[in-house]
A and B are shown apart, each in its own frame.
Chain A
């Protein structure tokens, strides 16, 4: 049984406070990078529509590589530690963010882009003041998918000495400590659910603010 006492013991023994901080650190770095790269890729393929299919297909292929394999593939390049894990997160997250950004930008109602241009906005001004804001709900949706991916991949990082809560799970598995597996597993799951819920709230707010009726 998982009593408070057992949880506290596992928590102390496996340094779970520090592990949680490491975990969230990796996660935030990965997600921030993903957003920057993903949104940029989305905007770029929107501006060069001929490249869109190729780029999205390529990202789709990356997406099909199993996550564990991807981390291992990155090991020789980025060495042990947080590097391969963060890189794998980013590689997985670019697709949903870039795809949603691209779809969002393309899907902005033609009347708004027409008016923007007719009242004298340059294409750059129209992009930043009209298209991107009106695509925010969709972009946020992509980020939310990426967030869930990242939580999963960061946890796998325990296998390649990236630190984080994955390490606790890994130790639990190797030392056959059921309590450690249970506590770390539940805690990781809970974190993911909380973050996703939080992202959901933000997405809804953006929808209310920027969604079109």
Chain B
């Protein structure tokens, strides 16, 4: 019934003089902001800064008191909210997959309501699951509770993409995941973003995430826009104390050569380790249980390498042992220099390395994270 697209491409989204009050408190005050077509705009700020409120005005989950939001010149208040929302993909932190529907039904729900035929839905869901690295033959019929947090978030992403909308609203989508998983999903998301080339508005409170993903970053505080611009601009020309605080630009003066691996590594936990004799099937189950996307394979105390969930999913011989699949990875000592470690990792194109002290894992080095700590 609502098959017609409101817009095929986003030219621009304009917030003009938006104000929203809850009682005496301004959630958003006099917000003017333009989102350009095709960009990924980050909304960031402390909690209560109005970033989520601003996002939710775009799909009219919240209506502003005054001002207007226009998409390609069309005032959102002139459109039926249901129709408006069907033209946007929406991803939130707690994902909200419906527990009584299979993964396939969850992703295919809006297409079904839009009146697509069964075959087309099935085809679309399969493609999307492939796209987010979840083999459809395994995942289509599963229920959300059978998936790990990372897998659920991928399904959430696939659901948002179901009708191929021109605009995505993402409300702290990776906020609830552990740091390493978050890094991996951000990396994958960056790939997806470049592939689908859509306009994305992304709310986060994590400046590292903002710097990695954002084309432009809008910093909000107490309901007002403080500064908006590309990451470099915020780092080198912060408009206020708050901006420099948030982007933490003091850190760029740190001397990189004095830093050691141990200063910048993330903590190692036993849950990352798997035994080399584990079979692929058991490993997948175990990793799902522990909510891991990457695991390190050991034979006793000897490190054999790393395996990722995506690799395991693609492996057709389920009885194979992890020892045969583990990809060798870089190892460093805690006292190695960070500059050396990073250049080694860059050479081999890896972004995760393990820190051994001397034969026992002591930490994990994630290249993006190291770089961001240095900025």
Contacts and interface: CB of A to CB of B under 8 A. Distances in A.
Interface string A134-164: 1000000000000000000000000000000
A210 B100 contact: yes
Contacts of B94: 111
Interface string B88-115: 1010101010111000000001100100
Contacts of B88: 120
The main secondary structure of chain A at its interface with chain B is helix
A116 B59 CA distance: 13
A213 B109 contact: no
Nearest to A134: B100
Looking at A114, A120, A122, the one whose CB has the most chain B CB atoms below 10 A away is A120
B257 to A, nearest CB: 48
Interface string B12-49: 00000000000000000000000000000000000000
B113 A118 contact: no
A119 to B, nearest CB: 5
Interface in A177-213: 209-213
B61 A119 contact: no
Nearest to A111: B96
A122 B59 CA distance: 13
B82 A119 contact: no
Nearest to A114: B96
A117 B98 contact: no
Given A210-B100, A212-B99, A120 B85 contact: yes
Contacts, number: 52
Contacts of A114: 61, 96
Given A125-B113, A129-B109, A213-B145, A118 B90 contact: yes
Contacts of B83: 120
A213 B82 contact: no
A59 interface: no
Contact of A133 (B61, B84, B92, B100): B100
A117 B110 CA distance: 11
Contacts of A130: 98
B183 interface: no
A58 interface: no
A119 B99 contact: no
Interface in A45-63: none
A51 to B, nearest CB: 26
B154 interface: no
B59 A118 contact: yes
Nearest to B145: A213
Contacts of A115: 90, 92, 96, 98
B114 to A, nearest CB: 9
B145 A120 contact: no
A209 B100 contact: yes
B61 A120 contact: no
B85 A119 contact: yes
Nearest to B83: A120
Contacts of A37: none
B82 A120 contact: yes
Contacts of B85: 117-120
A116 B96 CA distance: 9
B86 interface: yes
Nearest to B89: A119
Contacts of B90: 115, 118-119
B96 A121 contact: no
Contact of B92 (A118, A120, A122, A211): A118
A116 B90 CA distance: 10
Would you list the 7 A-B pairs with minimal beta carbon distance, nearest first? A115-B96, A120-B85, A120-B86, A210-B100, A133-B100, A122-B82, A118-B90
7 contacts: A114-B61, A114-B96, A119-B90, A119-B160, A121-B109, A134-B99, A210-B99
Given A115-B98, A212-B99, 5 more contacts: A121-B113, A125-B113, A210-B99, A210-B100, A213-B99
Interface of B: 59, 61, 82-86, 88, 90, 92, 94, 96, 98-100, 109-110, 113, 145, 159-160
